[in-house]
Amino acid sequence: MNNEVRTEILHQKLAASGLRSTRQREIVYDAILSKRDHPTADEIFARAKQEMPTISLATVYNCLDTLVQCDLVKQVHLERESTRYCPNLTEHAHFHDNESGAIYDVQLDPATISKLTHLLPEGFDVSSIDITFRGKAATTTATS
């Protein structure tokens, strides 16, 4: 996705929520999209500082909250670890490498998602699915 498309998506989603795009929000969003490695707020802050040295950690957190509320990124919660941020908005699972700490997207086909939701008792309404596999990633795995 090129920068113009990214910026347009950001503008549209923010406008739909009654918000405007700011340089800080653009920088934080780009910091997440630049490397699809599920960064923490501190990692995003370090990346954003390279583009805007005056940005504060509080501003980064505020931007992240806005991006999550506007469905531009998802939060990934791992036990006893900092929240990570994922730009992949499709229903998918994650694999957490216990040794390196890396997080990898695991695509789930619609049939698998359907099977999982049918495991629930009748009347339950699924709004999202959170699945995290944990273990050791293959040494040949190159992307996160």
Q: In this structure, what is the dihedral angle of CA atoms 19, 25, 31, 32, given to the nearest 10 degrees?
A: -20
Please name each of the domains of the chain with its CATH number. 3-75 (1.10.10.10), 90-135 (3.30.1490.190)
Whole-number mean pLDDT of the chain? 92
What pLDDT does 143 receive?
53
**Residues 54-69 pLDDT 10s:** 999 999 999 999 999 9
Q: What is the token pair recorded at 26?
A: 């653009």
SS3 94: strand
Q: Is the pLDDT of residue 128 over 60?
A: yes
Using CA atoms, how far residue 53 sits from 33, 44, 101, 103, 134, in Å, is: 19, 13, 27, 28, 36
**Residues 86-116 pLDDT 10s:** 999 988 999 999 999 999 999 999 999 989 9
Predicted TM-score (pTM) of this structure: 0.86
